[in-house]
Structure 1
Amino acid sequence: MRIVFVGAGELTAYTANLLIKRGHEVIIIEAQKSKIEELSETLDCSFLHGDGSRPHILEEADPKHCDILFCLTDNDQNNIIAGLVGRSLGFKRVVINIHDHDFESICLELGLEDTIIPSRTIGRFLADMASGVDPLELSTVIEGEARLYAVSIDEDYAGKALDELELPKKTRAIFYYRDDKFHLTDKDSKLEQGDKLVFICHMESLKALKKKFNQVANDEKSPEA
């Protein structure tokens, strides 16, 4: 794969190093020349000096022949702009990093569905670890275009059967938690307010699923993969 990073911070350096060792081609775009000089001593990849949110800089990476654009600067707004520009230039997949949860709904409205919020991701990992759950188990089976998403059932959906939900295409409810107890879904399952309902869906259906349940800023128990 050919992978482009905007921003040459610690996360970029670590991820790029792993990808290079796995045989992938990596390009890093960075505005500070000193960072490029520092990383070029340890990373065997290509570098572009410039503002990664500018179209003419991203075009130098040859977007149509790249697989993923990671926008990982320290500035949320810059990441969002770089993601939008990258998508318009033809990058196959755009992943952005944001720290402010308030931007999550904006990203969804803009169609930037691959959004990472580090505090949430790490928080889930630590909570699972403390509970004796292996967070890596799930990542080994949820691959490619599959995604998991959980919603809290409110009064609008309480009392409805699963077949009444009119779910987006390529989406299926697979289990739910009620009073902290696990239940598999079946055709007779009726929802109650407060249930945590978990779906598996194709990534192209995730935006519609979030919009349907109006849970763009879902709670930290939502297991997206």
Structure 2
Amino acid sequence: MRTVFIGAGKVSIGTAKALIKKGHEVVIIETDKARIEELSEEMDCSFLQGDGSQPNILREVNPAQTDILYCLADSDQANVIASLVGRSLGFKRIVTSIGDPQFEGICRELGLEDTIIPSRTISRYLEDMVGGTENVDLSAVIKDEARFFTFTAGQEDAVPIKELKLPAEARAVCYYREGRFALADEEAKLLEDDEVVVLTHSKNMASLQERWLPKPEQEKSNDSVAIKDK
């Protein structure tokens, strides 16, 4: 698997080192030349100096051949912009990190489905520890061809859940209304802006994305690829 990281912060480096150890190909985009020189002494991966939110920089890491683009810079705005640029360039999957929860709704509206809020994840983990709850790793539950898909309900989706006409092997399992969790009873009527979570077979992901996610303009580029090695 080939992954690209924007930003050489602690999360990026920790994740990159783990992936490298497992034999995956890693590229790190970082603006600070001194930081790159420091990391190149200890990491067996490729580095590219530049602003990861710039199209000309992202083109250099070969979007078509990259499995995941991690946008983990220190700036929420930079991560959102990089994610949108990356999507327009054809990256297969993009993970967007945001520190300020007020950007979460914007990310949903923009169709950035893999948005993470590190502080929230840590807070929930610590809260569960106090309550004596064992945290379950989703990777231990979502196996084989099972996948989660989330979408924000529009006006046309303001119907009882059973009328969503989901494909076979797909079920709405829960939804969030104004941030509050509710199980997806088939008779429950969705409202506009509800965030719906669907458990589905992987074969349905393309049709679900086609129905509920924005359709970005794909830039066609035959530019040559030039990865700057360490």
Two-structure CA RMSD over aligned residues (Å) = 3.5
Give, in whole Å, the separation in 2 of the partners of 1:183 and 1:79: 32
Amino acid at match of 1:4: V
Partner of 2:31: 31
Contact 1:104 1:115 (8 Å CA) reproduced: yes
Structure 2 counterpart SS, 1:112: coil
Q: Report the Cα offset of residue 184 of structure 1.
A: 10
1:86 and 2:86 aligned? yes
Partner of 1:147: 148
**Alignment gaps of 5+ in structure 2:** 153-157, 176-181, 190-195, 214-230
**Alignment gaps of 5+ in structure 1:** 152-156, 177-181, 211-225
Contact 2:97 2:118 (8 Å CA) reproduced: yes
- Per-residue deviation, residues 50-76 of structure 1 (Å, max 9, x unmatched): 111111111111111110000000001
User: How many residues are matched?
Assistant: 193
What's the TM-score once normalised by structure 1's chain length?
0.71
What's the TM-score once normalised by structure 2's chain length?
0.69
Structure 2 counterpart SS, 1:172: strand
Partner of 2:171: 172
Specify whether residues 203 and 117 from structure 1 end up closer, same or farther in structure 2 by C-alpha distance, changes over 3 A only.
Answer: farther
Greater length-normalized contact order (CA 8 Å, ≥ 6 residues apart): 2
- Per-residue deviation, residues 173-220 of structure 1 (Å, max 9, x unmatched): 4479xxxxx9996xxx7559xxxx97524666489789xxxxxxxxxx
Give, in whole Å, the separation in 1 of the partners of 2:184 and 2:64: 42
Give, in whole Å, the separation in 2 of the partners of 1:209 and 1:60: 30
Contact 1:96 1:114 (8 Å CA) reproduced: yes
Amino acid at match of 2:70: F
Listed as ranges, the matches of 1:1-225 within 5 Å are 1-143=1-143, 146-147=147-148, 163=162, 165-166=163-164, 168-169=166-167, 171-174=170-173, 191=188, 199-201=198-200, 205=208
Q: Report the Cα offset of residue 18 of structure 1.
A: 0.5
Give, in whole Å, the separation in 2 of the partners of 1:162 and 1:39: 50
Where in structure 1 do 4 or more consecutive aligned residues deviate above 3 Å? 167-171, 173-176, 182-185, 189-192, 201-210
